[in-house]
């Protein structure tokens, strides 16, 4: 199979790029290149002196991005997770940027290519790494992790009520033979989830949890958000598209905290001009996909985008 078989529909394409309020001479970062939908639209709105830097872990995404970089000198691709945001910008000599876009989660080609091991719809090696060139596979982790750790991951990242039972079944199974394929894991989970949500495979939450853990998805999100604020120029925008409540909660709480200054008692004699200004402010309400987009791409139904703008206040956080 080749990558051309798999179609990726970019979620909130126009809305996300519009949220960045692109300046023709600005410097922008697409933290999740994927197959380049957002990046190409950003490039179409930049002038000759504009610049776009993109990150991705996936070697197949990097191959697509490398071809784009060869044809457009304004574009740079970085083969790394976005938790390395600040370090990679330093390496490129970029001190500030005018906008940052993050399209979180997993891309359609990663799901639809059974070889990647992300989906229980296929029988494939239990891999789940977004970057197949480094790190531990899901099978390797499940073969050695403590039962309590497996249960905690499935409960925390999958919000699965039957996490302990699933973890116990995994440990019992590997005592006889290792779990090596997605189908083996899906069947095992199905036997240990007593109730099923309508329209959802019983393995959905477990697969999500293991994928998030293997790729450090939530940890990396927590690491990058402060870095983006530190690097945004005044007036620069941050737009983040999340696909499940765990991601969105992190983004929502970060924007709330970074846009709130310390509250002083009303009796404290301080002038308004002496109260420190917040680092960012929310821009509009959270944006969801239109009915038309969800009808064309059902995977977009859970997407939610939050936008914030740098307003020049002193950032107290760290990169």
Q: Does 244 belong to an annotated binding site?
A: no
Residue 126 forms part of a structural domain: no
Q: Does 136 belong to an annotated binding site?
A: no
Q: Do the Cβ atoms of 56 and 29 come closer than 8 Å? A: no
Q: Does 47 belong to an annotated binding site?
A: no
* Of the candidates 80, 58, 81, 78, the residue with the CA atom closest to the CA atom of residue 69: 78
Which of 178, 195, 214 is the endpoint of a domain?
A: 214
Residue 116 forms part of a structural domain: no
Q: Which residues pair with 99 in a beta bridge?
A: 28, 237
The CATH number of the domain holding residue 187 is: 1.10.150.170
- Tell me the whole-structure pTM to 2 decimals: 0.87
User: Does residue 246 sit in the same domain as residue 153?
Assistant: no
Which pLDDT does position 198 carry in this prediction? 72
Residue 67 forms part of a structural domain: yes
Between 9 and 5, the more confident residue is 9
Confidence of residue 260 (pLDDT cuts 50, 70, 90): confident
Nearest-angstrom CA–CA distance, 203 and 200: 8
Residue 121 forms part of a structural domain: no
User: Does residue 56 sit in the same domain as residue 70?
Assistant: yes
User: Does residue 184 sit in the same domain as residue 256?
Assistant: no
Residue 118 forms part of a structural domain: no
Mean pLDDT of 42-61: 96
Hey, CA dihedral for 65, 69, 71, 72, is it positive or negative? Answer: positive
The yes-or-no verdict on residue 102 having pLDDT over 70 is: yes
Q: Does 274 belong to an annotated binding site?
A: no
Least trusted range by pLDDT, from 40-54, 101-115, 194-208: 101-115
Which pLDDT does position 1 carry in this prediction? 36
* Strand intervals (E) in the chain: 27-30, 51-56, 75-79, 97-103, 232-242, 280-282, 287-288, 304-310
Q: Does 82 belong to an annotated binding site?
A: yes
Which of 167, 198, 214 is the endpoint of a domain?
A: 214
Residue 223 forms part of a structural domain: yes
Q: Give the model confidence (pLDDT) of 121-138 as tens digits.
A: 778 899 999 898 899 999
User: Does residue 24 sit in the same domain as residue 145?
Assistant: no
User: Does residue 96 sit in the same domain as residue 33?
Assistant: yes
State the residue range of the domain holding 172. 132-214
Q: How many domains does the chain have?
A: 2
Of the chain, the percentage scoring pLDDT greater than 70 comes to 86
Return all residues near 71 (Cβ < 8 A) that are at least 6 apart: none
Nearest-angstrom CA–CA distance, 220 and 212: 10
Q: Give the model confidence (pLDDT) of 225-237 as tens digits.
A: 999 999 999 999 9
- Start-to-end Cα distance in the chain: 41
Residue 316 forms part of a structural domain: no
Which pLDDT does position 316 carry in this prediction? 63
Residue 60 forms part of a structural domain: yes
User: Does residue 226 sit in the same domain as residue 209?
Assistant: no
């Amino acid at each position: 199979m080749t990558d051309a078989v798999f179609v990726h529909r970019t979620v909130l394409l126009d809305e996300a790029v519009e949220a960045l309020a692109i300046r023709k001479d600005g410097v922008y970062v697409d933290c999740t290149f994927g197959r380049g939908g957002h990046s190409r639209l950003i490039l179409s709105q930049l002038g000759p002196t504009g610049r776009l830097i993109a990150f991705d872990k996936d070697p197949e995404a990097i191959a697509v991005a490398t071809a784009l970089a060869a044809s457009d000198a304004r574009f740079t691709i970085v083969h790394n997770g976005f938790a390395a945001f600040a370090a990679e910008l330093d390496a490129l000599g970029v001190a500030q940027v005018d906008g940052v876009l993050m399209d979180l989660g997993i891309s359609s080609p990663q799901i639809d290519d059974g070889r990647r091991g992300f989906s229980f719809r296929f029988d494939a090696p239990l891999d789940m790494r977004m970057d197949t060139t480094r790190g531990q596979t899901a099978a390797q982790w499940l073969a050695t992790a403590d039962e309590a750790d497996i249960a905690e991951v499935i409960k925390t990242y999958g919000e699965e009520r039957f996490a302990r039972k699933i973890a116990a079944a995994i440990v019992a199974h590997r005592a006889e033979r290792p779990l090596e394929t997605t189908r083996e894991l899906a069947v095992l989970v199905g036997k240990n989830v007593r109730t099923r949500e309508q329209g959802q495979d019983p393995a959905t939450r477990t697969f999500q949890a293991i994928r998030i853990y293997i790729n450090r998805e939530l940890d990396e999100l927590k690491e990058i958000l402060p870095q983006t604020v530190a690097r945004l120029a005044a007036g620069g925008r941050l737009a983040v598209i999340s696909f499940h409540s765990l991601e969105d909660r992190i983004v929502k709480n970060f924007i709330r905290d970074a846009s709130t200054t310390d509250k002083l008692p009303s009796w404290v004699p301080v002038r308004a001009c002496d109260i420190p200004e917040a680092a960012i402010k929310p821009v509009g309400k959270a944006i969801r996909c239109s009915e038309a987009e969800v009808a064309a791409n059902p995977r977009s139904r859970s997407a939610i985008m939050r936008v914030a703008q740098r307003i020049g206040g002193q950032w107290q956080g760290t990169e």
